[in-house]
Structure 1
Amino acid sequence: MNRLHVRATCEYRTNLLGTDIRRPRFSWIIDAGGRRNVRQQAYRIQVAEAGSGFDEPLWDTGRTTSERSVHIEYGGPGLKPRTAYRFRVKVWDTTGAESDWSEEGGFELGLGDPSAWTALWITPDASAIPADSKPVFLLRKTFELRSNIAQARVYATAAGVYELYVNGRKASDDLLAPGWTSYHHRLQYQTYDVTALLQAGGNAIGIMLGDGWYRGGLGFDNRNYMYGEQRAALAELHVRYADGTEEIVGTDGSWKASLGPIRYSNIYHGETYDARLEQRGWSESGFDDAEWSAVTAVDLPYSHLVAQENWPTAVTEVLRPVSSFVTPKGDTVLDMGQNMVGRVRFKVRAPAGTKIVLRHAEVLDKDGNIYFGNLRPAKQTVEYIAAGRGEESYAPHFTFMGFRYVMVQGYPGQENGLPLDAFQGEVIHSDMSPAGEFECSDERVNQLQRNIRWGQRGNFLDVPTDCPQRDERLGWTGDAQVFISTALFNFQGAPFFTKWLRDLKAEQHEDGGVPFVIPDIVGGANSAAWGDAAVICPWTVYRYYDDLRLLAEQYESMKRWVEYIRSQGDNEYLWDTGFHFGDWLALDAKENSYIGATPTALVATAYYAYSTRIVRDAARVLGREEDAARYAELHDNVVQAFRDEFVTKTGRIACPTQTAHVLALVFDLVEESVKARVAEDLNALIVENDYHLTTGFVGTPHLCFALSNNGYHTTAIRLLLQDSYPGWLYSVSKGATTIWEHWDSIKPDGSFWSDDMNSFNHYAYGAIGDWMYRKVAGLDMDPDVAGYKRIRIEPLFGSALLTQARGAHDSMYGRIESGWRVNGERVEVDAVVPANATAVVVLRGAKRSTVTEGGERLEDVEGVLSIAEGADGLEIEVGSGSYRFAYEAPGLFRETYSEKTKLNELLMDEKAVAVLRRHVPHLLEGALADIARTASLRQIRENGMMRVPAEKIERILEELAAI
């Protein structure tokens, strides 16, 4: 019998260094060695102090009968600050098989209560180094240590951004610490294990301190928001010797300060580095700091310090330039081959004083020149002045750029061509683990998926930014909520959103309103679909990870947002007051407006209903029954108010926009009896627009769901595959490697959308990924069970335009896969279900008698738990394991349009129009008959479809088919 193997984590990590969580949670994945239908019967968790064995653990659950393997909360004695712990897990399955112990994991608490800090906030004395000095500060301290060092930790943070050095070596690979939080309320500190960097005798600590987000100036429209006027650092080294004694070295008045070789550093504008001013050995004990100046204490709070929550920011990949070339204007440019976010590292040999300048941009203009217009005031420029000491290597420390192309000036010998091996692009973002995959038979869609992932990587740099290149890079709430499901499929994002949602909660207004951006440096608040991030994001994290703790933590914030909406205007069930972004950037907007044609009151009331429904469901999950009943009633009333205001008496949406129909369908705002009519009207709006969308930020993420869920999956596929403007593949056809802010950021003639708002790395429209994974690949979760404990695998097929697709996701239970392929009328569907989970596999067009799995009849297959046959096919419930189902499905892949849609397509095809004119005008009546004889294609599109009497459609199609 194959043994069970267990991989365990604590708070999503194998090793968690420095946390404030006093009751951490343990989760594990079971590897069943290929066996099917493996379910956990019991588990055992042991926790011990790092220096102790498991023979006398601090906490031992013993064999605990339970199927739960996600977020088991620590239940032992109180955990101590600054203490490391080990943990391990074993499980038993329902057959009695017992696993080995998992590999040990570790977690360690940070300093604990803010009052535990003994160090002081310090900054250079202003009499020697003014607080507004542009160069980066260098801070240092020397000290003596005894031998037999057992453990050493540094706890550090900054009002600014910092890098920590111990005895000349950087303490970690983290970048841009302490990250960007709502600094007035919360500031992260980091914990570093520096045991291996210390030595008996003389030692030194060095801190490099830049402005970062804290005082570097943020915002747009001539804003220059800063959190404070002066940078400051806070650090505390705790050394524990083998004999149990401890020593503390912290920032205080004994430290010294100087200015470093980084003469200027700014998030938006870049960095200037003068290597001639390097002070070699500045963070080592033997360095002569006699010329350095004093420091002074700064009165900054400790109460808002929290241990690191998010994944650290780091270099996650290195790209080499694919080419260099000279533009028509004579500029020398590197092409990284990918629109990326991060920095360029280069090597050079040059005389002292040689200045090398790198200017970063995303695209080339239609003439082949590098284009900086969309950066607005952001400079994205790096200047390096060589020291003249042989080969030198440099990459910026405290900035990042969004770019594919780099204009290089001043590099020695560049007139003869740049040496490509001297340059590399270092990709920087929050170091999230990859979690999702998608591919299909259309390589253009596969490129779209790569663009979605790269867009996420570029914009998930400590906060979910809207763009990484211009003078903005802000955590827009609307962008985050429309993309979060796609994001969590592709990358492990629980710590990322946990940290950001805590900032959202901290920034939420007293009346429950929610700012447009988090952290809030803009000041505006309370737009529908933007403020709803307070509700949608924690619920989505819960759905992906079964994270009840975060849901409970954010629950009051969720309620407060809904109650804020309820308090607006005279009608508590209709939100028709205040400013809203509406269907932002929709293509049906009036000229000179960014807000689409869908009334903002319709959008706002739709989201009011949606958020109220989520709060109702969250209350049920959390066991708050009174709240659940209250919000269920409120939801019913809001839905009725929507129907009264925006749905006609005959059951049509009063507003004739795609987005209005989409929201009504996906948020269940119309009665079941009229849903088919609304869906048909939406489909008609798409088809009449020649399979192009007109939706913006609000409608686009839900558009294909509205079609696929209501019988028009083929239309959704055609939208996905649309490669003319506006469509997802239009940007792919233009060579995009990330998602654009506008459907036509580059126009068909090569010109650009307006410079004022034209990011080429703006992930919102990448939300189509969620639909690709759930509906095309068919990998979804049960609507009533969180965390992929119960999986739904239901590829919709629906079109001969795609012949195969596959999706995979690393869930809390392990790897899930859904894949399918068709060959003629033969269908194969693959499913991989992790141990301790089950799945319902829906085989469209299948009959029980013809389906096989691995060549066997379903009745004989191990792991098949139940089979149900319905009008659309089979529903097969399976336990864990890998499965391949095969069957014949005659007719399944014929285009599944409604009859009216089929005719409308024919009326848009010039050959079909010619056939109609010659052969079947007698079947057409009135105006359409005249159009069929003499019309232009445009007239047919505008007037044709809806004038065809329903009873004539089938006869027309039959005659055309015969012809």
Structure 2
Amino acid sequence: MFSYNFLRKFSHDLYETQKEYGHVTAVVPAFHENGPTCSVWGDAATIVPWNLYLYYGDVNILKEQFESMRQWVDYIKDIDESTGGRRFWDVGFHFGDWLALDGEGDDSFKGATEDGYIATAYYYNSANIVAKAAKILGKDEEASYYSTLAGEIKAALQAEYFTANGRLALTTQTAYAVALYMDFAPEGSKERIAGFLKEKLKVNKGYLKTGFVGTYILNKVLSDYGNNELAYKLLLNEECPSWLYAVNMGATTIWERWNSILPDGRISGTEMNSLNHYSYGSVVEWMYRNMAGLHVEEEHPGFTHVTVAPQPDYRITACDMKYRSVAGTYEISWKVEKSGEFHLKVAVPFGAGAKIVLPHTGKEPLEVSAGVHEYSYVPEVPIIKIYSSKSPFSELLESETAMTVVENFIPGWQAVPVGMRDMTVEMLNDTPFVNLTPEQLEAFNTHLKNC
């Protein structure tokens, strides 16, 4: 299917019903009267045309949909003005972080992240998109208006949810991810917020609790802010909730819920339980964008010029990607040898260009034109995990080969409290849970080198 034509028609239908009913409807196309939709879902009015422009490079989609995009933001602003003009959207019904796992009660449909926070974040995001679209279309007055509005919403979000030192008042995985992804966290606080998100995941043993809002951005935010290993862990987790849990249960489609099918093979008794519901499949974008490394650039819509910046991890030693863009087919493949050497091959289509960022080197990005480009080198920072007594104990437990060494040298390892497993073995050796002699510690390290 040619996605552009399908989504262009969808956007057209959305605007037609928007014109008829005065709002973005809950169902598109609307064949009968139905009420207005809410944040996130309604933001399809801005996000879909903008992404079509980025990925296909056709400015006509912005020309066709600009009024729809603008009217969606104006609709939210009217609600905002009617409730005090605080630059918030915190009234009415919102799905919020739908089907997240951190809500109250086992059968909760909503996650713990405040609806008003999510709705206002998307209000900001859509205002920002309209401002950028207006600038591209030469609508300078509208560009200035919506840029100013976006700035006011951003300031309101910062005043309400962030302390002077940059701590976010909401402490859910989704709240942290949204602040980083939509870029409204105060300057100087982003690394701290990324650290909070990392700790939040660690407390949950490296498993997500996000729903429809948080999941599609979680891996991207982790990789973009220095926590690439955690992003890979989320991808490769096999217990529920995870993508591989569903695969191991025989799934051939994406489920609406993480636990749509129980471990014993029974359909869970929860409502809202489709076995063919794309939302969580959005992790594939992260695989193309971060794992393989293909980044579309706003300055060069339609893939006429891209950034190639793979982010490999020791748990996956090879990756092959092919993407048929409107500018031609891009191919990226990389491999990590047991020796630690890294191989990268990038094919850039005729007439296009790319900036290639070689992972784990201190080199400046390489500007290349069409053709096939190959690189082989030993990274300055090893991609292959090298285990030792200085490794966090939790990392050793995640590796089958390292785990064998742990069981041989520390047979009572289960006694190490979960809260202490981020400590190194050397640190744990000063506790009652590990008691290795200097000779045993040396032998322990020798065996780990062979893992």
Query: How far apart are the structure 2 equivalents of 1:567 and 1:705?
Result: 33
Deviation string 1:429-481 (CA, Å, 9 cap, x unpaired) is xxx1xxxxxxxxxxxxxxxxxxxxxxxxxxxxxxxxxxxxxxxxxxxxxxxxx
- The amino acid of 1:833's aligned partner reads V
Whether 1:499 and 2:9 are equivalent positions in the alignment is yes
2:75 to 564, 572, 579: 564
**2:350 aligns to what SS in structure 1?**
coil
Query: How far apart are the structure 1 equivalents of 2:221 and 2:62?
Result: 27
Please show how residues 790-829 of structure 1 align to structure 2 within 5 Å.
790-797=305-312, 799-823=313-337, 824-829=339-344
CA 1:522 to 1:683, structure 2 compared with 1: closer, same or farther past 3 Å?
A: farther
Query: How far apart are the structure 2 equivalents of 1:533 and 1:828?
Result: 39
**1:540 aligns to what SS in structure 2?**
helix
Unaligned runs of 5+ in 1: 1-431, 433-491, 847-870, 920-932
Query: How far apart are the structure 1 equivalents of 2:78 and 2:397?
Result: 49
Which residue of the partner structure matches residue 437 of structure 2? none
Deviation string 1:367-418 (CA, Å, 9 cap, x unpaired) is xxxxxxxxxxxxxxxxxxxxxxxxxxxxxxxxxxxxxxxxxxxxxxxxxxxx
Deviation string 1:211-263 (CA, Å, 9 cap, x unpaired) is xxxxxxxxxxxxxxxxxxxxxxxxxxxxxxxxxxxxxxxxxxxxxxxxxxxxx
Query: How far apart are the structure 1 equivalents of 2:150 and 2:397?
Result: 42
TM-score normalised according to structure 1 size: 0.41
Is this contact kept in 1: 2:38–2:93, CA < 8 A? yes
The Cα shift of 1:510 comes to: 6.6
1:517 to 20, 23, 27: 27
1:879 to 369, 394, 400: 369
Query: How far apart are the structure 2 equivalents of 1:647 and 1:954?
Result: 37
Is this contact kept in 1: 2:54–2:297, CA < 8 A? no
CA 1:699 to 1:904, structure 2 compared with 1: closer, same or farther past 3 Å?
A: farther
- The amino acid of 2:94's aligned partner reads H
**2:365 aligns to what SS in structure 1?**
strand
User: What is the count of residue pairs matched by the alignment?
Assistant: 420
The Cα shift of 1:822 comes to: 1.0
CA 1:622 to 1:674, structure 2 compared with 1: closer, same or farther past 3 Å?
A: same
CA 1:512 to 1:570, structure 2 compared with 1: closer, same or farther past 3 Å?
A: farther
Q: Which has the higher contact order (CA 8 A, sep 6+)?
A: 1
Unaligned runs of 5+ in 2: 435-440, 445-451
**2:367 aligns to what SS in structure 1?**
strand
**1:668 aligns to what SS in structure 2?**
coil
Is this contact kept in 2: 1:714–1:895, CA < 8 A? no
Percent pairwise identity: 38
Structure with the largest fraction of helix = 2
Is this contact kept in 2: 1:583–1:699, CA < 8 A? yes
Deviation string 1:522-551 (CA, Å, 9 cap, x unpaired) is 823231101000000000000011111111
Is this contact kept in 1: 2:336–2:384, CA < 8 A? no
Please show how residues 716-735 of structure 1 align to structure 2 within 5 Å.
716-735=231-250
Is this contact kept in 1: 2:332–2:344, CA < 8 A? yes
Query: How far apart are the structure 2 equivalents of 1:697 and 1:731?
Result: 17
Please show how residues 404-419 of structure 1 align to structure 2 within 5 Å.
none
Is this contact kept in 2: 1:725–1:743, CA < 8 A? yes
The Cα shift of 1:673 comes to: 0.8
**1:837 aligns to what SS in structure 2?**
strand
- The amino acid of 1:678's aligned partner reads I
1:541 to 29, 52, 66: 52
Deviation string 1:526-579 (CA, Å, 9 cap, x unpaired) is 311010000000000000111111111101110111111112222341111111
Larger-Rg structure: 1
Query: How far apart are the structure 2 equivalents of 1:655 and 1:595?
Result: 15
**RMSD between aligned alpha carbons?**
3.1
The Cα shift of 1:725 comes to: 0.3
The Cα shift of 1:937 comes to: 4.0
The Cα shift of 1:903 comes to: 4.8
Deviation string 1:841-878 (CA, Å, 9 cap, x unpaired) is 110123xxxxxxxxxxxxxxxxxxxxxxxx3x341111
CA 1:501 to 1:830, structure 2 compared with 1: closer, same or farther past 3 Å?
A: same
2:291 to 766, 776, 792: 776
The Cα shift of 1:508 comes to: 1.2
The Cα shift of 1:667 comes to: 0.4
1:891 to 373, 381, 397: 381
Structure with the largest fraction of strand = 1
Is this contact kept in 1: 2:336–2:383, CA < 8 A? no
- The amino acid of 1:905's aligned partner reads S
**1:705 aligns to what SS in structure 2?**
helix
Is this contact kept in 2: 1:512–1:563, CA < 8 A? no
Query: How far apart are the structure 2 equivalents of 1:958 and 1:786?
Result: 55
Which residue of the partner structure matches residue 552 of structure 1? 63
CA 1:958 to 1:665, structure 2 compared with 1: closer, same or farther past 3 Å?
A: farther
Which residue of the partner structure matches residue 438 of structure 2? none
Whether 1:648 and 2:157 are equivalent positions in the alignment is no
**1:539 aligns to what SS in structure 2?**
helix
Please show how residues 134-533 of structure 1 align to structure 2 within 5 Å.
432=1, 492-508=2-18, 513-520=23-30, 523-533=34-44
Query: How far apart are the structure 2 equivalents of 1:883 and 1:622?
Result: 36
1:613 to 109, 118, 128: 128
CA 1:958 to 1:794, structure 2 compared with 1: closer, same or farther past 3 Å?
A: farther
